[in-house]
Structure 1
Amino acid sequence: MTATYIAIDIGASSGRLMMGCLEDEKIKLEEVHRFKNTLYFEQEYHWDIHRLSQEILIGLEKVKKMGILNCFVGIDTWGVDYCLVDDQGQLIQNPICYRDERTKEAMDVVAKQMSLQAIYQKTGIQLQPFNTLFQLFVEDQKLLAKTDKILLIPDYLGFFFTGEAVLERTNASTTQLINQKTQELDPELLALTGTNLNQWGRLVDAGTILGELTTEKFSAFDLPKATFITVASHDTASAVIGTPGKGQDWAYISSGTWSLVGTEECQPIATNESQQQNYTNELGGYQTIRFLKNIMGMWLIQEVARNYDDQFSFAQLGEMAKTEIGFQTFIDVNASEFLKPNNMVEALQDYCQRTNQKVPATPGQLARCIYDNLALYYGKEIQQLQRQIGRDLTTIQIVGGGSNAELLNQLTADVTGLTIKAGPTEATAIGNIVVQMMTTKALINLVEARDLIANSFEISTYLPELNRAEIVSNYQDFLQEGNLVK
């Protein structure tokens, strides 16, 4: 009988359970359960991890109702955030969200104790104020004193369901606590955070059997027998595994709330230039490095849609954008005021007004502004990327929800001059599932898995149509002239 695999994939705004299996030499994928993931404010912005665990149980119960009595399960989520657990295995408080402002000054304070350059050289990880290192640095020391285990979000959920505590490497690398040379937790950085090695789970690789679902603990639910596998638990790591790239001449854009622009490397690249350009060397599955840049991605369009009370779908906003004249306004999509504004529409308009530009006034103009500038930013970063890896690229594989944005895909092809391969949309869930398949020997290796993905899902191709060298030049002049609103 064909094995059933369940990918639990939770992002910053929603989560879902996706069921996968091999059928007619293709991966068959089906959504079983979807739910919202929202923040709440109680002194800080928190994730409701208990509600997320209940939604997972509801989803697994649906799996059982579909007649699936046995399955494998893998969990992936966003990175950097963590749960504090006491010696009774109980959650001390709901995890705090990386978007909370508690770490606003943390990097400056940490820099007085250890240079940021030294931290980057140790870890190869992009310096961001919300990295786990800086979150723990400002953490309540009384809570840390009560903490028996520090578990990243997917590791906590795995612990909750199986009782087994681990620290999966792809996600662990986002903490900025892993030494890039040893690939172990760095004692000096742990000391900086006020934590010790005993508070962390044992490091494991993607594709490790975690344990069995403790069904007796959840007697209120009718659950299948489930074996949990620790997959590449950082969602971007799963998305890259689920990207059907071949050879060495491709880059990826994992396009969701964030856009991750990067390549898959064998060794970290931690140079002065990579630090200055804020590139990161996150661990990927199967002895790979995700050399990438973090960009404020579809978050911008998501927030604009929300500010219009979700009157318009993303597809509708894209169609409106197509009717607008392009490249009328330039913005820095990574500007700090776009991280968590009270109102994204007003933040975009204020930015343009302060930089003496035409102010986008309609939903279509706002969407066009976002898509134009995301494409331009991608183009800038692809140039940087090629210089740092020392080789030319021919193709960009765009995966995730943003791969459905046809206008953005075409603009990216035009601006970069490269071939765009868009899809699959569900790369993260697919990457989660193929790790499970490799762990259970249904697939041999990552090359076979990516060939299978390419043959299982629709991939759209976009070729450059226009020479936008002048627009790119104007954009770069805009950035160099200091028109960035800090």
Structure 2
Amino acid sequence: MKSYIAVDIGASSGRLMLGQVQQGKLTLQEVHRFSNGFAMADGHDRWDVDHLVHEIFLGLEKVKKMGINAVKLGIDTWAVDYVLVGNDGQKLEDPISYRDKRTHNAIEELTSDLPREYIYEKTGIQFQDFNTLYQLYKENRQLLSQADKIMMMPDYLGYVLTGNAVTEITNASTTQMLNLRVGLFDKDLLGKVNVSQDQFPRLVEAGTILGNVSHKWHEKYDLPEVEVITVATHDTASAVVGTPGQGDRWAFLSSGTWSLLGTELNVPENGLQAFHENYTNEWGAYGTYRFLKNIMGLWIAQCVRHELNDKYSFGELAKLATEVKPFAQFIDINDDRFTNPDNMIKELQDYCRENGQQVPETPGELFQAIYSNLSLFYANELSKLDEILGYHIDTLNIVGGGSNVGLMNQLTSTLAQVDVIAGPSEATAVGNIMVQMVAATEVNNLDAGRQLIADSFDLKRYHPEASQYGEVLSQYQAFLSKQTKEMV
């Protein structure tokens, strides 16, 4: 029986998940979990990547103690952040987090020379001020000139483990610097941020064999034999691989710290309507494109829970939310003010006061406001997706931690008039492992892998309900439209 390890690292935590096929079903087991987070250092919010490397090896030691002597391993993380590596092969400094404030106004500055339409036509990627393009635009020029290599976060971790450097395409596409037509980094955009093509390791597809963990690490840790496979290293790309979508008219919602809502296409959609709605064409595994919208997601809920001193579990907060009437206020969940405020509860309350909305006070009111407005935003984006694609999405597959929030799933189904299939909650780890299994020829292809996923996990289904909230979505859309006009 083959053993696969998914190293899945998010903004707040990471884990090592063991995957095996037993009696025709894929099984998952969490082997090791550890904390992650950025902290202020040298004037910027930075990630401690040495900590992440150490925790990966601690997890692999646990795998060895389980009696498993050989595994395959894939790494996925969040997107856009990078590590600068010098000529000696060592990082120049700890990488800066995408939530750092250095890129404020970077889009406006860079696009004063290159029109947004020009950049979108080249890359098909939505405009977000934390994209790698704008991070590099604001990077310390002297430090950047010292960088022999620029490595995306999961590629850097793979490099530390094996000594081999690559740039995996699903994560590289989120930089907003890959040219859709050429399939390489765009020279015009690289020139604008003072970097060159040869500063990036070679581009590879998901499923590429990276190599074995270097011998030096076996001397420091008691490890099994580990072959590293470069999976779909952007966690959303892995989550979409791990989504059991079937047919042609399904959409996905990867619901975690961020919400990524969209569909899987065989050709990119970078026309004017997609540009105006700020949809993105991130490259996926096996020649696909993730046509999606980036939405703030459960980051807001995570912050609020923490500010409530972690007194309640998410399950308890969801229960309290069900006791509160939904849609008591309209909130633009994607407003930049919610990206990294000093106090999320105060930010939500101030937003409601400023817009003449009912102010949520209790934990139940706060979480009902978050969940109901996320549902409204999802339904609104699904209607836009229908318009761009020219057909109605029939089924929304919700994966990730948000798939466990029944209240939000049901509201989304009713508001958007779509069937919702929720699960698996561990889609990112599942997709990570699935790419490894295809590379190891244990699974034939992506379709076969998704069928195995559907057969292996308990999926919950939600159907549109008749409700008294029939006009709520149109009212919310009018509210968002008014907000946009006032900003302009």
User: TM-score when scaled to structure 1?
Assistant: 0.98
Distance 2:73 2:168 in 1: 15
Residue 298 in 1 paired to residue 306 in 2? no
| Secondary structure of residue in 1 paired with 2:441 | coil
Q: Deviations over 1:64-84 (max 9, x none)?
A: 111111100000000000000
Shift of 1:466: 2.5
Name the aligned partner's letter for residue 31 of structure 1: E
Distance 1:344 1:282 in 2: 29
Residue 470 in 1 paired to residue 484 in 2? no
Instruction: Determine the structure 2 residue equivalent to 1:171.
Output: 171
Shift of 1:484: 8.5
Listed as ranges, the matches of 1:240-319 within 5 Å are: 240-319=240-319
Distance 2:262 2:359 in 1: 32
Instruction: Determine the structure 2 residue equivalent to 1:39.
Output: 38
Instruction: Determine the structure 2 residue equivalent to 1:7.
Output: 6
Distance 1:315 1:236 in 2: 24
Shift of 1:188: 1.1
Q: Deviations over 1:372-410 (max 9, x none)?
A: 100000000000001111222111000001100010011
Instruction: Determine the structure 1 residue equivalent to 2:87.
Output: 87
Shift of 1:206: 0.2
Residue 346 in 1 paired to residue 346 in 2? yes
| Secondary structure of residue in 2 paired with 1:219 | helix
Residues 206 and 286 of structure 1 are in contact (CA less than 8 Å); yes or no, is this contact kept in structure 2? Answer: yes
Shift of 1:108: 1.2
**Sequence identity percentage:** 49
Listed as ranges, the matches of 1:130-209 within 5 Å are: 130-209=130-209
Distance 2:230 2:69 in 1: 20
Name the aligned partner's letter for residue 196 of structure 2: N
| Secondary structure of residue in 2 paired with 1:435 | helix
Shift of 1:472: 1.1
Name the aligned partner's letter for residue 390 of structure 1: G
| Secondary structure of residue in 1 paired with 2:359 | coil
Instruction: Determine the structure 2 residue equivalent to 1:326.
Output: 326
Distance 2:414 2:319 in 1: 18
Instruction: Determine the structure 2 residue equivalent to 1:70.
Output: 70
| Secondary structure of residue in 1 paired with 2:5 | strand
Instruction: Determine the structure 2 residue equivalent to 1:419.
Output: 419
Residues 76 and 432 of structure 1 are in contact (CA less than 8 Å); yes or no, is this contact kept in structure 2? Answer: yes
Name the aligned partner's letter for residue 8 of structure 1: V
Shift of 1:215: 3.1
Q: Deviations over 1:244-295 (max 9, x none)?
A: 0011111000000000000000111111111111100000100000000000
Q: Deviations over 1:5-35 (max 9, x none)?
A: 0000001111000000111010011000001
Name the aligned partner's letter for residue 347 of structure 2: A
Q: Deviations over 1:129-177 (max 9, x none)?
A: 1100110011001111111110000000000000000000000000011
Shift of 1:483: 7.8
Distance 1:476 1:148 in 2: 48
| Secondary structure of residue in 1 paired with 2:170 | helix
Instruction: Determine the structure 1 residue equivalent to 2:111.
Output: 111
Name the aligned partner's letter for residue 254 of structure 1: S
Q: Deviations over 1:351-392 (max 9, x none)?
A: 000001110110100100011100000000000001111222
Instruction: Determine the structure 1 residue equivalent to 2:482.
Output: 481
Distance 1:472 1:112 in 2: 36
Distance 2:482 2:232 in 1: 41
Shift of 1:218: 4.8
Instruction: Determine the structure 1 residue equivalent to 2:402.
Output: 402
Name the aligned partner's letter for residue 466 of structure 1: A
Q: Deviations over 1:416-444 (max 9, x none)?
A: 11111000000000000010000010000
Shift of 1:216: 2.1
Instruction: Determine the structure 1 residue equivalent to 2:120.
Output: 120
Residue 18 in 1 paired to residue 17 in 2? yes
Higher mean Cα deviation, 12-21 or 112-121? Answer: 112-121
Shift of 1:312: 0.8
User: TM-score when scaled to structure 2?
Assistant: 0.98
| Secondary structure of residue in 2 paired with 1:7 | strand
5+ residue gaps, structure 1, are none
Distance 1:99 1:162 in 2: 29
Name the aligned partner's letter for residue 34 of structure 1: R
Name the aligned partner's letter for residue 171 of structure 1: N
Shift of 1:38: 1.1
5+ residue gaps, structure 2, are none
Name the aligned partner's letter for residue 40 of structure 1: A
Residues 400 and 425 of structure 1 are in contact (CA less than 8 Å); yes or no, is this contact kept in structure 2? Answer: yes
Name the aligned partner's letter for residue 15 of structure 2: R
Residues 351 and 485 of structure 1 are in contact (CA less than 8 Å); yes or no, is this contact kept in structure 2? Answer: no
Residues 4 and 19 of structure 1 are in contact (CA less than 8 Å); yes or no, is this contact kept in structure 2? Answer: yes
Instruction: Determine the structure 2 residue equivalent to 1:225.
Output: 225
Name the aligned partner's letter for residue 17 of structure 1: L
Residues 125 and 282 of structure 1 are in contact (CA less than 8 Å); yes or no, is this contact kept in structure 2? Answer: yes
Distance 1:171 1:313 in 2: 32
Residues 300 and 338 of structure 1 are in contact (CA less than 8 Å); yes or no, is this contact kept in structure 2? Answer: yes
Residues 332 and 484 of structure 1 are in contact (CA less than 8 Å); yes or no, is this contact kept in structure 2? Answer: no
Distance 1:479 1:91 in 2: 43
Distance 2:332 2:156 in 1: 35
Instruction: Determine the structure 2 residue equivalent to 1:239.
Output: 239
Listed as ranges, the matches of 1:456-467 within 5 Å are: 456-467=456-467
| Secondary structure of residue in 1 paired with 2:251 | strand
Distance 2:372 2:338 in 1: 16
Shift of 1:485: 8.4
| Secondary structure of residue in 1 paired with 2:281 | strand
Aligned in 2, Cα 1:483/1:355: closer, same or farther, shift over 3 Å? farther
| Secondary structure of residue in 2 paired with 1:385 | helix
Distance 2:62 2:38 in 1: 25
Q: Deviations over 1:440-471 (max 9, x none)?
A: 10000011000000000010001111343211
Name the aligned partner's letter for residue 252 of structure 1: F
| Secondary structure of residue in 1 paired with 2:7 | strand
Residue 393 in 1 paired to residue 393 in 2? yes
Instruction: Determine the structure 2 residue equivalent to 1:30.
Output: 29
Give the aligned length: 485
Instruction: Determine the structure 2 residue equivalent to 1:369.
Output: 369
Q: Please give the root-mean-square deviation of Cα atoms over the aligned residues, in Å.
A: 1.1
